[in-house]
């Protein structure tokens, strides 16, 4: 699955629900769906809030999703915005370049917590790609699509 959406705050819920809908193919539990939604929401919100200075129709976010081996979901969230100077620092808990607004600096930490792994590829002036993976079926809750 590949989709391109303008980096508007109001598109965040569509993005997270679209990826959750895609993931239903792997029969996730409600808890796994919520983990995926939270992680996608954080990555998309970062693209909206940090990557671009203002909401413009040409500022795009590209979201791809794939399923490997029937049960491993991979989601990438890419923007073409300002990029991150120091990725290692940005990934630290409580690190934020927008203190005071409602940012907690916990976005990357939440993605790492709710998914199995996360890579962040970024270059100043070029943009950022966050790739996250989660194996579905790791816990024994109620299947949505069993
Ligand atoms: N897509 C992005 N483009 C540019 N900078 C980003 C992006 N995502 C994250 N960052 C940088 O990484 C920092 C940490 O992100 P995060 O952990 O989500 O915390 P928060 O969003 O609350 O600041 C942000 O403050 C910002 O400086
Ligand atoms: Mg964030």
How many percent of the chain have pLDDT more than 90? 87
Domain assignment present for 70: yes
Closest residue CA from atom 27 of ligand 1: 97
Residue reference for tokens 């100043």: 124
Taking the C-alpha atoms of residue 130 and residue 63, their distance in angstroms, rounded to an integer, is 10
Domain assignment present for 89: yes
CATH number at residue 47: 3.30.565.10
Taking the C-alpha atoms of residue 36 and residue 13, their distance in angstroms, rounded to an integer, is 12
pLDDT confidence bin for 139, thresholds 50/70/90: low
Domain assignment present for 146: no
Substitution site in 50, 52, 99, 111 for ligand 1 pocket (most atoms within 8 Å of beta carbon): 50
Q: Is the pLDDT of residue 69 over 80?
A: yes
Domain assignment present for 99: yes
Residue-number span of the structural domain to which 81 is assigned: 2-135
pLDDT confidence bin for 142, thresholds 50/70/90: low
Q: H or E segment at 37? A: helix 30-46
Residue 46 annotated as catalytic: yes
pTM: 0.94
């Amino acid at each position: 699955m590949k989709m391109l959406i303008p980096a508007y705050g109001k598109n965040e819920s569509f993005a997270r629900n679209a990826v959750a809908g895609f993931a239903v193919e792997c029969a996730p539990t409600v808890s796994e769906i919520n983990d995926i939604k939270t992680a996608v929401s954080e990555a998309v919100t970062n693209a909206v809030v940090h990557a671009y200075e203002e909401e413009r129709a040409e500022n795009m976010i590209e979201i791809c999703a794939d399923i490997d081996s029937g049960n491993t979901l991979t989601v990438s969230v890419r923007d073409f915005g300002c990029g991150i100077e120091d990725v290692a620092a940005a990934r630290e808990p409580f690190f934020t370049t927008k203190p005071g607004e409602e940012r907690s600096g916990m976005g990357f930490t939440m993605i790492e917590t709710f998914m199995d792994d996360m890579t962040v590829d970024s270059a100043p002036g070029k943009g950022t790609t966050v790739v996250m993976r989660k194996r579905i079926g790791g816990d024994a809750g109620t299947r949505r699509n069993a």
